[in-house]
Each structure stands twice: as C-alpha cells, then as structure tokens.
Chains A and B, each alone.
Chain A
Amino acid sequence: MDEVLETAVEAGHILLESGAEIFRVEETMKRISRYYGVDEDHKEFFVLANGLFASGKTEKGHYAKVLQSRVQSARLSRVVAINQLSRQIEQGKYTLPEARRELERIRNTPEPPKLLQILASGFGSAAFCVMLGGDFQDTLVSFIAGLLLYVFVLFVANPHMSKISGNLIGGMIVTVVCLLCQKISLGHSLSHMIVGGIISLVPGLSFTNGIRDIADGDYISGAVRLLDAIIVFVSIAVGVGIVFTVYRHIWGGATL
C-alpha cells in the first residue's frame, strides 16, 4: 500500500514540476492509486501549484507525505510521458515495480540541448519580428538579441537569479542590444526589434495554466500562476523602461 501511494505521489510530483495543470496532477494520482487497489476513502491528495500533500491509511498504519515543488522550466515531454504511462497502467500493462522504474526514467529524461534552445529563441524572436512587420534588418537584430537573451537566461538567470531580476535584466539586455544596433544604423523599427527580441521571456505556460486552473476551480493555484505571469510580464516591461530612461538622460530628451 505504501508503495502504491509512493508511486502515485512520485508521478504527481514530476507532473507538478514539469508544468501540468492541478486537475491533471490530482487525476493522475487518483488513477494510479485506484488501479493498484487503494480505494477512494483510504487516501486523500491535495495539490497546490507549489506543493503536494498526500495521506492514506494502510495495513501497517498511516502514510503521509508532503513535497515542495517549484516549476523551474516547462518540461511538457514529461507531462506527455506520464499521461501515457497512466493510461497504460490502467490497461494493465505495468506492474508496480515496472511503473516505478518507468517514472524514474521519465524523471531523468534530459531537457533539449542548450544550444538548440538558444537557437529556438533566436528564430522565435526573428519570427515574431517578421509577424509585427519588421524588415530584414530588424529581423536580423531581433535574431541576435534573442540568441544573446537566451544565453543569459540559461547560464545566468535560471541557475542564479530570482524571476524578477532575471526577467528585468533580460528585458534590459534586449533593449541595450537593439539600441546599440540602431546606433550603428542596423535596423529601423526599434519597437519591432525589441518586442521580437523579448518574446522568449513571455510567460506562456504560467498564463495558460493559471487560466485553466481557475476554470477548473483551483483558485489558489490559478491565482499563484497568474500572479507569476503578471510579475514576469511587468519585470520585462520595467527592464525595457529602465534602459529607455537611462538613454534619455544620457542623450537628452532624444526621441527613440
């Protein structure tokens, strides 16, 4: 029994840390424990955006576990893998030890190579610049800004900084790069370059999950995730604004 709850909790914890909705985390934990024979009134799970509580009654006594979690970065491939695993468990394709081994494997799947992520950020920025109507030079500057930004995000901000300062400085870096390029007359439309450049900071996952959690009635987690999205958005805007303010003071009231 302990083993079953332990497995369910492990699956829930991976889901929570990879950026799944609260509803999915709870549902998966219930499914797994139901299949392996822990019935409804012998257990209780409580999941929040930043933590997970489980308790149950077993033949040996009581089971209880509290786990903290912090979403580091979106890892949707793990959400997909566990979703599939829980389906297959219900079809009877996994014994308990096999399921645990599979969970261990899913937890250890590597994230996409850093170089690829940096390139994706560059191409993403370039693509958004095109969508906004930027010309070839604008797009090139956006591409460079997107690359540099993600080098900073992966090697400095994510491991060492809070979300507020990471996104604020990220916004500043992009703005500085774009202003410098404009100074050497590369690129024409500053707004297209900058909006394209910062796009990979946009908190898409927290925003969408926050909305979904609130729609499911998980108000606390939804509010936490939406707050996270708003803080990130405001931090980026403040970062851009700071550079503009400094620039204006140095070059007088120059219009940008």
Chain B
Amino acid sequence: MTLLVHFIAAAVGTVAFALIFDVPPRYYGLCALIGGGGFLLIEILMDLGLSQTEATFIGTMFVALASRICAVWRKCPVTVFLVAGIIPLVPGSRVYWTAYYLVMQDMGRAFDNGFLAIRVAIAIVLGIVLVLEIPNRLFHREKR
C-alpha cells in the first residue's frame, strides 16, 4: 500500500518537473512511468537490504535505460525523459540533514550525511554514464 502511494507520488512529482522543464505534454505519461518506476525500484531494493547508494545506482540505470528506449520509440531527445525521471532519485534529504547538523555543530553526523549524499550523487552519475555508453544501434535493433 505504501509502495503504491509512493509510486503515485513519484509519478506526480516527475510530471510536475516535466512541466517546469517545459517538456511537451504528450510525453507526460511516459515521464510519470519512468520517474515512478525508478523510485519504486529503489524502495523495493532497499527493502531487500541494499544500501541507498547501491539501490540508487540500479534505479538510475533503470531510469536511463527506460529513457533511451522511449527516446528511440517516440523519436525525441533522451533528455526529455531523463531529466525529469532522475529527480526522484536525488538525495535531497541527505543534503538537508548535512546542512542541519552543520548548523547544530554536530560535525560527525554532518559528515556522515554529506558523505552519503556525495556517494549517492556519484551512483547517479555512473548509472547515467554507463547506460548512455551503450551504442545506439542496439536500441534500434530492439525496436524492429
């Protein structure tokens, strides 16, 4: 039940971002599925015991892969799906807690959170880079 609510929330959040980034409305549906799916995948993986970094890495690969497939299918730039779909994976809470503990002068916890935020960010970078390296023709063959 919680998972379903979170999936819907992530989908709504992704579409809200798609609107702010001025993505054409005809792509909202796919954006919602990609963003919601990526977030859902991360939650499930973390329930299964993976760390936030590992789960985010796999979730990012999913988002990037789905974005590329949709981009080939709908013949549009991959950015359209990738930019909004990646937002639910951003470690916003970690950055918040880093700032919070810095102000509270609890350097140990500030460091822990800040370091985790950086690790998650690197996981996102690696996930995107690895999937974008896959040669284009593989995706075209898949389509036929």
Cross-chain contact A195 with B79 (CB below 8 angstroms): no
Once A76-B80, A244-B103 are accepted as A-B contacts, the answer to whether A194 and B96 lie under 8 Å apart by CB is yes
Residues of chain B from 11 to 65 with CB closer than 8 A to chain A in the complex = 12-13, 15-17, 19-24, 39
Main secondary structure of the interface of A (DSSP, over half): helix
Question: How far apart are A198's CB and chain B's nearest CB, in angstroms?
Answer: 7
The yes or no answer to A74 lying at the interface (CB within 8 A) is: yes
Once A76-B83, A131-B88, A248-B103 are accepted as A-B contacts, the answer to whether A233 and B95 lie under 8 Å apart by CB is yes
Main secondary structure of the interface of B (DSSP, over half): helix
The yes or no answer to A237 lying at the interface (CB within 8 A) is: yes
Name which of A55-63, A113-121, A180-188 contacts chain B: A113-121
The yes or no answer to B10 lying at the interface (CB within 8 A) is: yes
The yes or no answer to A34 lying at the interface (CB within 8 A) is: no
Count of B residues near A, CB < 8 Å?
A: 45
The yes or no answer to A137 lying at the interface (CB within 8 A) is: no
Residues from chain A with Cβ under 8 Å of B95 in the complex: 233, 236-237
The yes or no answer to A209 lying at the interface (CB within 8 A) is: yes
Total cross-chain contacts (CB, 8 A): 148
Once A204-B90, A244-B100 are accepted as A-B contacts, the answer to whether A80 and B77 lie under 8 Å apart by CB is yes
The yes or no answer to B86 lying at the interface (CB within 8 A) is: yes
Nearest CB in chain B to that of A82: its residue = B77
Residues of chain A from 165 to 205 with CB closer than 8 A to chain B in the complex = 191, 194-195, 198-200, 202, 204-205
The yes or no answer to B97 lying at the interface (CB within 8 A) is: yes
Residues from chain B with Cβ under 8 Å of A128 in the complex: 9, 13, 88, 92
Nearest CB in chain B to that of A111: its residue = B22
Residues of chain B from 93 to 144 with CB closer than 8 A to chain A in the complex = 93, 95-100, 102-104, 124-125, 128-129, 132-133
Cross-chain contact A202 with B128 (CB below 8 angstroms): no
Residues from chain A with Cβ under 8 Å of B99 in the complex: 237-238, 240-241, 244
Cross-chain contact A77 with B129 (CB below 8 angstroms): no
A241 partner, pick from B75, B79, B102, beta carbons under 8 A: B102
Question: How far apart are B128's CB and chain A's nearest CB, in angstroms?
Answer: 5
Residues of A within 8 A of B (CB): 19-21, 24, 73-80, 83-84, 87, 111-112, 116-117, 120-121, 123-124, 126-128, 130-132, 191, 194-195, 198-200, 202, 204-205, 207-209, 211-212, 215, 233, 236-238, 240-241, 244-245, 248, 255-256
Residues of B within 8 A of A (CB): 5-6, 9-10, 12-13, 15-17, 19-24, 39, 75-77, 79-80, 82-84, 86-88, 90, 92-93, 95-100, 102-104, 124-125, 128-129, 132-133
Q: Supply 18 further A-B pairs (C-beta < 8 A) apart from A126-B12, A238-B99, A255-B104.
A: A19-B79, A24-B77, A76-B22, A76-B77, A111-B22, A120-B20, A127-B16, A131-B88, A132-B93, A199-B87, A202-B92, A208-B82, A211-B128, A215-B128, A237-B99, A240-B99, A244-B103, A248-B104
